[in-house]
């Protein structure tokens, strides 16, 4: 039986960092999709999923084992804030700063690597505020 196991450290590859879904048709994943993959979830479990709690349901329906810690964290309200930041129009560098702080609140270390490629939804974001 396959299993999703909580990991406390993961890396987001900017070349595949997307918005609005854990994994889209182009293979781009939001930060929560990157975390789910690091925990052992496969593409078919996270494709078009909005939040980790749906991945848990999908996994259980497909006879996957989900460890208690991932199951517990998957329903945290803070993940909705994390998703909102990931999907916002803030510049990527600002998103990264906020995501590092928010994941730390639940004991998870997130890091970022790589460069954005052409067509990546994060490429053309500009600062919204004037401060």
Helix spans in 25-77 (H)? 31-38, 43-46, 52-61, 68-73
Q: How far is residue 36 from each of residues 8, 16, 89, 124, 128, measured CA to CA in Å?
A: 11, 14, 23, 26, 30
Q: Could you tell me the residue ranges of all domains in the chain?
A: 7-113
Q: pLDDT per residue over 29-44, tens digit each? A: 999 999 999 999 999 9
Measured at the alpha carbon of residue 26, what is the angle toward residues 47 and 107, in degrees to the nearest 5? 55
SS3 78: helix
pTM: 0.92
Q: pLDDT per residue over 44-54, tens digit each? A: 999 999 999 99
Q: What's the CA gap between 90 and 4, in Å, rounded?
A: 31
Q: pLDDT per residue over 56-96, tens digit each? A: 999 999 999 999 999 999 999 999 999 999 999 999 999 99
């Amino acid at each position: 039986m396959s299993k999703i196991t909580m990991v406390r450290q993961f890396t987001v590859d900017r070349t595949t960092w997307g918005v609005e879904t854990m994994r889209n048709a182009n293979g781009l994943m939001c930060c929560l999709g990157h975390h789910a993959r690091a925990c052992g979830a496969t593409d078919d479990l996270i494709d078009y999923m909005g939040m980790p709690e749906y991945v848990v349901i999908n996994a259980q329906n497909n006879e996957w084992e989900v460890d208690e810690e991932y199951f517990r964290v998957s329903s945290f309200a803070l993940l909705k804030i994390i998703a909102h930041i990931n999907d916002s129009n803030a510049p990527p560098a600002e998103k990264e700063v906020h995501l590092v702080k928010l994941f730390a609140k639940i004991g998870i270390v997130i890091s970022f690597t790589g460069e954005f490629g052409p067509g990546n939804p994060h490429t053309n974001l500009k600062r919204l505020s004037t401060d």
